[in-house]
Each structure stands twice: as structure tokens, then as C-alpha cells.
Structure 1
Amino acid sequence: MKESVLIQNKIRIKINLAFLKKDMVFTISLVLAAVSCLFQSPKIEYLNFPVLISLFNLMLAIKAFEELRILDKFAISILNKCNNSKSVSAFLILLCFFSSMFMTNDVALLTFVPLTLVISRKTKMPMMETIILQTIAANIGSSLTPMGNPQNLFIYSFYRITPMPFFMTVLLLAILGIISLYFFIRRLDEKELKVEIPPIKITNPKKTMVWGMVLILIIASIFGVIPYQVAFIITLMIVAILNRKLLFKIDYLLLITFICFFIFVGNISNTNAVHVLASTSLKDSASVYFNSILLSQFISNVPASILLAEFTPNWKPLLLGVNIGGLGTIIASMASVISYKLYIQSYPNQGKKYLLKFSLYNFSCLAVLTLIPYVILKILKIF
């Protein structure tokens, strides 16, 4: 009897360990949150409820579109207009770059990465590199507008910046970013597409219209047009009326991963060591620039911008630094975690391969976009 219990326990432990190995980002976030709690007590204020609830709303809406085959319809229309795999990838990557300027980097990825995965399934075409480049594109493209990402919105309001100085500061980064993406896209495999898929008819246009309106409400709540609580209640009501099964089909581990990172970032940001380091190391524009890039790698770029803004009046190098700092590690920008989670949901055994390729692309891009702007701004005597 005891032996059978021991065997059952061993099997459970193996299953748990296998689960943790499959989702490395979740495991890392859980470990970081747990370890940081040993040094600092977590607080409820660390949890960014608007982000968590908006993410939950968006996942439900995108899953609804997936169930209604709206994503399939978009995928087929893209495939019918493109002759080869490279042109499909280029379209999807640029879609993320430009849409992220207006609908934020995380919303762009949550909307278009599932579309990429649908195309991958229909064509049997590997799209890992495309999704990684979509992530880079969203993180760079979102830097061009104040509403493109949370750190821009914070810096824009905190320093009371006017539109033109803001735009001129990030324009160089956006230009270098699109040039980098061009060279990355050129390296992608080019295979001729011979896919003849009949067009999909929308079988339930009324539901499609309702979910379209829900998506507009969710995006409006992200921009602060309506309270996020209102969007949350309306989304839940629509789910309850139209399709309750959606509540069991979304990735709750993604939400838990975000919660773990929020706890880790909150704990670390409030330690004395980090505050002392921030106050002593920000001596000039160059130090603000490099420290914001470096700090973003460990606590992500949004909290890095909030923390460093307290210690420097130099908003230009801070703005550039936290946007460039969104490249690099997978936690440098929380939007990158979204792409990763969506990908391994479809390909659970490719987590390690994804992280390796993600790191290769991101650190290459980080090196280029860190050094070139610095040299140019140094020549112009801005730094």
C-alpha cells in the first residue's frame, strides 16, 4: 500500500516538473516572485489591475473571434494576396509595427499573433521567427506615439511633454527599428505558396457584430475613454449570454505569469539597494540612457521608467532608454511574454527553442539600437 502511494506521488512530482519545464517563463516568474518575497513583503498595490483585467477581456474577445472563424477568414484573405512565405511574414510583421502605434504593443500582439498561428496551421509553415519579429516590431513601433505603450504614456504625462519634442526624440529609434526589421525579414526563408483555400463565410454575423463592438469597448477602456471595470462587466455579460465555454478556453497561466512578474518587480523596485543605485548612478544623459536600458532587462521597461523618473529631469535619454530596453530579455517588455505564451500554447514542446531564437534576435537588435543612437546623439552633442 505504501509503495503504491509512493509511486503515485513520484508520478505526480514528475508531471508537475514536466509542466514547469514546458513553460519556462511561467516557472521563472514564479521563482522570481517567491525569492523576492523573502526580502520584501508583497503588496496588493503591485498588481496592475487595469492591465490584468484588460488582458483578460482581450483574451476572451480574441478567443471568441477564433471560435467564430473570423481569424480564419482574415488568414485566408492574407494568403490569397501573397505569393510566398516571406511576403506573408513581412505583412504580419509590419501589421504589428504600425498597429502598435495606436493600439499599444500588447494589444497588437494579442490580436495578430493568433492570426499568425492560424496561418501557420493552414500552410504547415513554421512561423516562430515571424512571431519573434512581430514582437520586436510591436515593441519598436509602439515607441513612436505616447499611447503606444505604458512607459511612453507615463513619461509623456510625468514630464508634461508636448507632441513635437516627443516625436522628434523617438523618430530616430523608429527609423532604425524599421531598417533592422527589413534586414531581418530579408533573412527569412522564401517558399512559394500553393494554397487554394475556399473563402470562409461568416455563419453568425450577429455574434460577430456583437464581439466586434465588445472589442471596440475593450480598446476604448485601454485608452481610458471608458472605465476598465465597465468593459470587464460588459465582456462577462456577453460571454454569459453568448458562449460561457470561452471562460474555460483562455490561458489563465498568462495572467498568473503577469501577476508573478508584478510581485517581483514591485518587491525589487521598493528595495533600498535599487533606490540607492538609481540615485547615485544617474549623473548625466548618458548614464540615464544606459541605466534605463540595463534596468529594463531585469525589472521590465515600465517599472524602470517609473523608478528612474523620480531621480532625473532628463526625459529624452530616459524615453529612448526604456523603449530600447524593451528589447533583450523576455521580461524586458511584458508584451514579449504575451507572444511567447501564445506560441507555446500551440507548440508546447518548443519553449526552449523559442527562447533561444528570441534571445538571439532581440539581443542583436538591442546592441544595434543601443549603440547607433548613442553615437549619433553624441556627435550632435545631445549626450
Structure 2
Amino acid sequence: MMLNLLRPFLRDRFLHLLLITGAILMGIAPFHFADLPSAIDWHTIITLAGLMMLTKGIELSGCFDVLGMRMVKRFASERQLALFLVCAVALLSTFLTNDVALFIVVPLTLTLKKLCAIPVSRIIIFEALAVNAGSLLTPIGNPQNILLWGRSGLSFLDFTWQMTPLALVLFASLLVVCWFSFTSAPLVYQAHEKAHPWQPRLIWCSLVLYLVFLAALEQKLALWGLGVVALGFLVMARRVLTGIDWSLLAVFMVMFIDVHLLVSLPALNTLLTPLSQASQMALFASAVGLSQAISNVPATILLLNYVPPDRLLAWAVNIGGFGLLPGSLANLIALRMAGDRRIWWRFHLYSLPMLLWAALVGFGLFLIS
């Protein structure tokens, strides 16, 4: 059991890179070890931990395997299947976070390749783009929104309302591109359907705990909600707690510390301080550009030291998830799961034009709304 828990930490190259970066920053940035725990946004970590538990519970129940395999037989063409998977992963990302939505849908997509001939790599690329478009809608759709929501003081519905125009336009645009990127050629199935048993008791337990956790978040009782979720799975299904990739939480904790060390650098502070007085266009461009370089989650963490958690920042860092591979951690997760070396450069054929379109449309919408 201990080996299973430690294995993700040993294999997570991104976590190792963050640790090395932190060690280098400790050598050049002024800091005190006692200040490092307070550099971590614990509300974000607690929310992520709860959502990861709930998602793993739903995954282990077998619910998505059963529903997916039954529904996919109803699609006659490659285009219909691709549109369904893109819509499904976008919808899941609005309440399960973009990362965990991919952990559910991408393995299902890879399984479908065994049943019929589909351009699986291209579908996974669109799934990665879809979670960036879908997850920006709600405050629990992705880590940067969790952070912005916690700092903004807005209610769940108010935060969702401010993100709705951008989410609708980007998702509609993605569906149009998806329509033209896949053919109407009929699907030819090559294997018989297999039985996929599921566990109704676990799925109902997960759904009830999910509602409890959402209510706790809304009432600013995140830690109590996490305790209830953990205790529920400890009693009902311990394998949920041991099956989680806990290294993902470590990644975000180290990110917070690395950004804290970065902010401590006098040179960087001098460079970013003028953003507090910058124009809306300059701030928007800076947030999108910084997301391309260091990913939108650490970019959000960094920029919140200089600008308020308002709609402009929320739109900009979510748009920054498109474009280059580091723009969003979800991009890395999806492409790594695909297991195709060529997918890494093919991804940018779609993501870079999407970034340009999202930035132009997003800033235009912001000005008129």
C-alpha cells in the first residue's frame, strides 16, 4: 500500500522540476522557512483534495464505464462520437475540475480505440481544449478559479454568472472547429461489447458526499466538508483514498511556495508592481502571456499579489490555458495519457489559433459587457 501511495511522487517529473526550481530560488531569494506554510493557499488545496476524492469515488464505481460503453454504440459517425466526447468532458469539467474530468474521459477514449477505428489522438487534443473552455464556467472547474473564487468573496452563482459569456462563446467556437475537424464516415466496430459491472452503492455515496462538500464550500466550511468526505470514504470504500494521485496536491503546494519565493525577488517585484496601475489591455495581455510561460495556475497565484481577483483577471488566466503546452496543467495531463509522441506538436496546430481567437473575442466581450 505504501508503495502505491509513493509511486506517483517518484514518477511525477513535473513535481521534481518544481522542487528543483524551489531549491534554486531558495538560494537566491530572501525568505524565512517559517513563512513557507502560510504561502500555501489552503482553501484551494482543501477544495482540490475533496474534489479528487469524490471524483475517484465516481470513477471506481464503474458508472462512467457503463454509461460510456452503452451510449457510444448509439453514434453512427466519427464526428458524432467526437462531439459527444467533447461535450461530455466539458460538462464534467464544470463540476469535477478540468484535470479530473480528463482522468475520467481520456481513459474511456483510449478504450474506444479497441472497439473501432477512430483518430484517438485528435479527439484527446479536443478534449484537452474542451476542459479549458468548460472548466472556466464555474468556481470549482479548475484550480485558478478555485483560488479566484476564494479571494473574490463572490457566491457560487455570482462567480458562474460573470464567467458565462466567455464560456459560451469559447465552447461554441470549439464545437464549430470540432465539426469540421472530424468526418461523417461511419464507425465500424471491431469487437463485441463487454460487460462492465458497476457499484450503485458507491456512486450514490459519492453523489451525496459531493452535495455535502459543495454546501460546505458555500458556507465557508471547507475543512469540515473535507473531513466528512474523507470519513465517508474511509467507512464506505477505503480504496478511494488509496487510489488517488496525491502527488497532484503536492504539485500545487510546491507551486504556491515557488511563487512566494519568486515574489520575494526584488527584480521581479520591480517588474510586476506597475501592473497595479496598468491599463486593462496591458493587464489582460500580461496575464495571458504569463500563463503561457509558467501555466495559468502559478500565473494567477503570482498576479494576485498585484491586482484584484476581478473578472478581467479571471477571464485572462483562463484564456491563457490555451496556446502553448505549459498554459494549463490539464494540457500536460491529457497529452501524457495519450501515449503518442506526435500528439505533442499536433496539439499546437489547434491550441495556438484557439488562443489567438479566445484572446481577441474575450477582450472584446469584456469591453462591451
How many residues are matched?
Answer: 353
Q: CA deviation at 1:192?
A: 0.8
User: Could you list the per-position Cα deviations for residues 59-116 of structure 1 after superposition, in whole angstroms to 9, with x for gaps in the alignment?
Assistant: 4444444444222202112212212333222112112334444554445445544544
Looking at structure 2, the residues matched to 124 and 59 of structure 1 have their Cα atoms a distance apart, in angstroms, of 32
Matched, 1:197 2:193: yes
Q: How much has 1:321 moved relative to structure 2?
A: 1.9
Residue 39, structure 1, aligned to residue 33, structure 2: no
Equivalent residue runs for 1:114-153 within 5 Å: 114-120=107-113, 123=116, 125=118, 127-145=120-138, 148-149=141-142, 151-152=144-145
Displacement of 1:295 in angstroms is: 1.6
SS in 1 for 2:218: coil
| 2:75 match | 82
C-alpha displacement of 1:249: 3.3
Amino acid in the other structure paired with 1:197: E
| Structure 1 residue 183, shift from structure 2 partner | 1.0
SS at 1:197's partner residue? coil
1:211 maps onto 2:200 in alignment: no
Aligned to 1:365: 354
1:70 correspondence with 2:70: no
Cα distance in 1, alignment partners of residues 266 and 125 from structure 2 = 35
Counterpart pick for 1:188 among 173, 182, 188? 182
Give the match for residue 178 of structure 1.
172
Contact between 1:74 and 1:115, CA under 8 Å: does it hold in 2? Answer: no
1:292 CA drift (Å): 1.1
Q: What's the RMSD between the two structures over aligned residues? A: 4.1
Output the amino acid matched with 2:126.
L
**Aligned pair 1:276/2:294, yes or no?**
no
Cα displacement string for residues 333-370 of structure 1 (whole angstroms, at most 9, x for unaligned residues)? 344455456x26xx4xx4x5444344443223112222
Match of 1:93? 86
8 Å contact 1:103–1:219 — kept in the other structure? no
Deviation at 1:328, TM superposition (A): 2.8
Q: Which residue of 1 aligns with 2:255?
A: 261
Q: Which amino acid aligns with 1:327?
A: F
Structure 1: which 5+ runs fail to align? 1-15
Alpha-carbon shift at residue 151 of structure 1 (Å): 4.4
TM-score (ref. length: structure 1) = 0.72
Is 1:57–1:218's contact at 8 Å kept on the other side of the alignment?
A: yes
Higher gyration radius (CA): 1
Alignment partner of 1:230 is 2:224: yes
Residues 1:25 and 2:21 aligned together: no
The residue matched to 1:327 in structure 2 has which SS? coil
User: CA–CA distance in 2 between the matches of 1:144 and 1:208?
Assistant: 25
Structure 1 residue aligned with 2:286, among 288, 291, 296? 291
Distance 1:197 1:299, change over 3 A: same
Residue identity in the other structure for 2:182: L
Q: What percent identity do the matched residue pairs reach?
A: 25
